[in-house]
Amino acid sequence: MTHHRYATVRGHQLFYREAGPADAPAIVLLHGFPTSSYMFRDLIPRLADRYHVIAPDYLGFGFSDTPDVEYTFDTLAVLTSELLSQLGVHRYAIYVQDYGAPVGWRLALADPSAITAVINQNGNRYDAGFVEEFWAPIWAFHRSWTAETEGAVRGALAFETARWQHHRIRGHPLAAVSMGRSAPAEGVPDPSVVSPDTWHHDHALVSRPGNDDIQVQLFADYATNPPLYPKVHEFLRPSGVPVLAAWGRNDPIFAPAGARAFADDSPDAEIHLLAGGHFLLESALDEVATLVNDFLDRRVAKTA
């Protein structure tokens, strides 16, 4: 059974989902944009029979508070770390996707001994894999915050963009709506398996009053993430932390090159390119759950 809880961290209410035995090896699920721990709603029960599963909503996302503070990836990581400390979770595997990757890398760099494994699903830790057609407006916004560049990235907050991110219809032109660029040629093999609940839920929560300004701050801060990558590589090389990449190969935001690059610093990384897009769990849940359970059983459960 999944429990839905709140904790107070630095005066802010953070929502999180928790399941599984408290004394089992822990896995922390770190969500992407524009979603929340909701993206893991169906994966959590698949892991909870053998693992202690925790899936937080970052500050400003999902059901967590949206206070008027400075929003950076450092802020999201610090609050997530303090939440885990409150819960008594000091060693854990991380499952990262999209924004979850820079949050997870900061957790690992702050306390390398805490990380028992890394599971990466469409979240970069290399310069390889950034799809320029999507990212160009964000890099331009970071270089120069003007009304024009801000307007371009605010397109990512539109309802149609949330749908585009989840659905990945082949040849659908929603990238042009969101970022002023052409849409990718590939998408979810069978779009009918992706429930409309996903993008309606995500867009409703990211559209709470004032949340647009929160997301704009994080778009501006995203460029602080690639400079961390060399430090992440230095952490991985000597540590031998097990790495699994379960990657939607049709993702027009983070391309498969980002997954293949994991082998550069983790020679025994297990890399799987699956049919699907950015939100792979919506179309390949069974495959991902099987890969994750098998990986954790072999690489973590006996040593945690």
Instruction: Give the pLDDT band of residue 237 (cuts 50, 70, 90).
Output: confident
Q: How much is the average pLDDT of 37-66? A: 98
Residue 171 pLDDT more than 60?
A: no
Convert the pLDDT of each residue in 256-273 to its tens digit. Answer: 999 999 999 888 999 999
Instruction: Give the pLDDT band of residue 226 (cuts 50, 70, 90).
Output: very high
Asked if the peptide bond before residue 34 counts as cis, ω within 30 degrees of 0, the response is: yes
Residue 239 pLDDT more than 90?
A: no
Residue 234 pLDDT more than 70?
A: yes
Per-chain mean pLDDT for the chain:
91
Cα–Cα dist 169/106, whole Å:
33
Domains of the chain: 3-130+225-299 (3.40.50.1820), 132-222 (no CATH)
Convert the pLDDT of each residue in 63-112 to its tens digit. Answer: 999 999 999 999 999 999 999 999 999 999 999 999 999 999 999 999 99
Residue 223 pLDDT more than 90?
A: yes
pLDDT of residue 168: 56
Q: How much is the average pLDDT of 25-52? A: 97
Percent of the chain with pLDDT over 70: 92
Q: What is the pTM of this model?
A: 0.94
pLDDT of residue 173: 33
Convert the pLDDT of each residue in 273-297 to its tens digit. Answer: 999 999 999 999 999 999 999 999 9
pLDDT of residue 45: 98
Query: Are 260 and 235 within 8 A, CB to CB?
Result: no
Amino acid identity of 126?
A: Y
Percent of the chain with pLDDT over 90: 82
C-alpha distances out from residue 207 to 23, 217, 294, Å: 37, 15, 37
pLDDT of residue 188: 79
Would you please indicate which residues are annotated as catalytic (active-site) residues?
Answer: 278
Q: How much is the average pLDDT of 174-195? A: 58
Residue 182 pLDDT more than 80?
A: no
